Structure 1
């Protein structure tokens, strides 16, 4: 398989899975068992494409928050976004300094997909019993920040799934409200994570010999696909549950355990 085709496929995969509750990191780890393994710089770039996509989708909301400082409601929401981001940044940096690394086999990813899928089904049912609560509390903000770190430590968990369902269980039971808050927190979170990794690579001199054509293809594929997926998901969850994604996770995880029992 050519490098450009592999880059295109990985870019599309990142755009499809970054914001759906099915784990982009888990899918990329699985895909790279069959596709050429990519550099950390490549992975940063395709994630950047997804970040650009979600920023464009929420551009009006972001502008309203940036210019609505005098509105107590907007200001309170912005402070809660900042709190969730700071919790993720501080705890995530501690985890990074402790030497955490992604697994080399798909077995832990498979189990995370299965367990996460079961948890999603249960959590959504519990949240629905409370009725439609759209308010984001300070407790929700802190727990969303922690959930993002947990998802980073256990590939296959999914950052969006962990954070959305923690938010729903902690008080923001309305799917659309929980999803919007998590997606907005994800923008500075992923920008910071990508920027931090980029600086680390630059410091270590690992940015040389980059295949810029493959990087450009992957970036564009991730951005375009991510934009379409986020727009679709925001409309979908207004009248549908997340159950379909949970079932997909369980089936995929079981298939990986069945056909790759050694995790190779």
Structure 2
């Protein structure tokens, strides 16, 4: 009897690999918890592999082949599912947000990627990689804009962002770029597509001062938190960890300006930048 075929990388390989994993697990008579125990991971981790919200790493592919008696199927197809147009440290988070039902994000020093304009994204990417070729920068910008297209879909995820005031006052790309970026942000808010609150300087110390936090909730998978630093990031599904950062985010929401006051401030700063002033 022929074995399973290689997955087609052009057909959402991660989703297909997850479906094959679910089929193999059920064929073996194992629950997600039982299979997770054999891999020394949680049942929710297996669920995220099956739903395609978590990338399958080579070490787990080898274990799955051994436990599920699938010869080398997962090992052969793991590479295809791991291909990504995003930086390695961010790839898993970027792909997970595409299937999220709700996203909550705190940004400390820049406008969140899903809310950026091309010119703003280009300035950010160039700052990260000052010696990179222009075509490499454009690839990053294109990938970021493709992510942002989810906001054009009325059935897409609910996005709630708390943006630090410093991100609005830091002239990224110059006054013209900032004016456009803030007008775009205000437009999304006025169209009721996103919820944005500004965390003002006067809020003082807060629990997310050391980095950015992204919480993602899904319809059919456990919640994730993504923590990011300079050139590094990690996704965590531990319920206690997710719960702790959810509490931190709630504290940020309470300390931030209301959506009405946030919109007024954003539009005022956009006007200042448009007049060539640095607010």
TM-score bracket, shorter-length normalisation: under 0.3
Considering fraction of residues, name the structure with more strand. 2
Q: TM-score, normalised by structure 2?
A: 0.22
Q: TM-score, normalised by structure 1?
A: 0.23
Structure label with greater radius of gyration: 2
Higher relative contact order (CA 8 A, sep 6+): 1
Considering fraction of residues, name the structure with more helix. 1
